[in-house]
Structure 1
């Protein structure tokens, strides 16, 4: 198979190297492949598009020509043939002594997998829960290190970083924390479904990390229009360090993200130009439905 390069992104043909459970609803999948020698990223919240095969397929079906028509060509494939596409965040990258990428990690939240699940699992959760070494995937990712799929852009004069995310933002926040300079004041809030997802997160920054475990409680509003009272309550009650030039990064369910942005801008008075907010998903909609509405 040939892969076409079109800076700043390209397709990568990869295979699963290993998997590791990080908690009841989280699994880390490590990928390898010769194509990764062309993979470059500065990390942070690097976004990736992952193409997965349907059950019974040995590899995902994708048009590998990165021209203007690749998206339409993929969409025109039959539903039971067309590869499942989902967006994920790069968790970590491994390089050899020459700086070439040899492997990457992606963390999957296992929605609807396991006993007691209140909703059916989606295709990506099912795939990740059963992934084994050698399974093949296709990745649309960065061919240059500094690319537009990195959203975390703290200005040079930032004197306080504020982070909030749900489970889907945990890989990005973990990577961001690892990249921050020593001594920089950071306050982070992570809202997760169960206590088994709580992790020790490493950072050289002066970080205070708060885990919010909601259990079976879901965000208010079936359409995602309301935010979790737990999230808003924790942020409103927080006493933040004095700062003249804070930077805010928020990611997760799109309705909640918008509410939290309004809190930071309207209630905290933070310059909206210093607030990055990313809706990773929307309550009640699949990724295909979200893309169709974009």
Structure 2
């Protein structure tokens, strides 16, 4: 491990947790609330804080990880049989509450995709007491928070699909009074629209995919009259749509590329397992998988 990756790695640690409760938010989303004594040390649940979630396989009582969770955990985890080692996925904390009677609770919103992936299957049936492990922040200011408007930002553009909805909600929760934002959110069904409270001055547009045609996010932003002043953009969702929207903002709207934070949370035509295999391959080729969670 390099000095840089070692410095990043200390920003994260493992946390044992269990399901407290779950509830459906709409046709596409379920909210699973996690709790546990160790989560008192979970350092940041705000904005678009991401973390790695480890789930058990069917028939296992708890996720299986290497006994020693040191700097070599990733390669030791990879060495375990695929049907034994814990399922690993990346998610965003929707909300963190530290003053509940039972201690710290974390809400994690899962976009359901039927029976297409182990995490979606798990979330659809998760019940109280089911055990999970999180790899999350041990320090509040960590590299897995991407929403970072630079000094001098006059207004923010925020856009994403349902996979980015938890992060968008977390970002809006923490916008201060007086902050200005234009927000576009694409969801599959009208029943997926949520109330997203915010102290800032926010104009939100919901795009229902079943009625919005092709490339709804790109077309909606392209047609919009944007505010004057220095912007900051945060966009996430399907990889191709995110890249197209970033090209529009930088190439056609003149946004400073350094003021556009973008994340491809999924990719059309690729399964969750395909993307995870690519991420693992990249990590084994030198990327810092030990360092902590990345985008969902």
Distance in 2 (alpha carbons) for counterparts of 1:103 and 1:254: 31
Counting only pairs closer than 5 Å after superposition, residues 205-244 of structure 1 correspond to structure 2 as 205-215=200-210, 228-243=214-229
Q: Report the more deviating stretch, 156-165 or 131-140.
A: 156-165
**Deviation string, structure 1 residues 93-151 (Cα, Å, up to 9, x no partner):** 01129xx9611110001112xxxxxxx42100110000000000000000111100000
* Cα 1:31–1:64 shift into 2, 3 Å: farther
User: Runs (4+) of structure 1 moved beyond 6 Å?
Assistant: none
Q: Secondary structure at the match of 1:94?
A: strand
The 8 Å contact of residues 37 and 103 in structure 2, kept in 1 or not, is answered as no
Post-superposition shift, 1:216?
8.5
Post-superposition shift, 1:68?
3.0
Post-superposition shift, 1:217?
8.2
Post-superposition shift, 1:200?
1.1
Post-superposition shift, 1:64?
5.2
Distance in 1 (alpha carbons) for counterparts of 2:197 and 2:47: 14
What is the match of residue 256 of structure 2? 271
The 8 Å contact of residues 10 and 141 in structure 1, kept in 2 or not, is answered as yes
**Deviation string, structure 1 residues 64-86 (Cα, Å, up to 9, x no partner):** 53433211111111111111111
Post-superposition shift, 1:48?
0.7
Q: Using CA pairs under 8 Å that are at least 6 residues apart, name the structure with larger relative contact order, 1 or 2.
A: 2
Q: Secondary structure at the match of 2:105?
A: strand
What is the match of residue 111 of structure 1? 113
**Aligned with residue 41 of structure 2, among 35, 38, 42:** 38
* Cα 1:279–1:27 shift into 2, 3 Å: same
The 8 Å contact of residues 167 and 191 in structure 1, kept in 2 or not, is answered as yes
More helix by share: 2
1:140 and 2:143 are equivalent in the alignment: no
What is the match of residue 89 of structure 2? 86
Post-superposition shift, 1:246?
0.6
The 8 Å contact of residues 93 and 101 in structure 1, kept in 2 or not, is answered as no
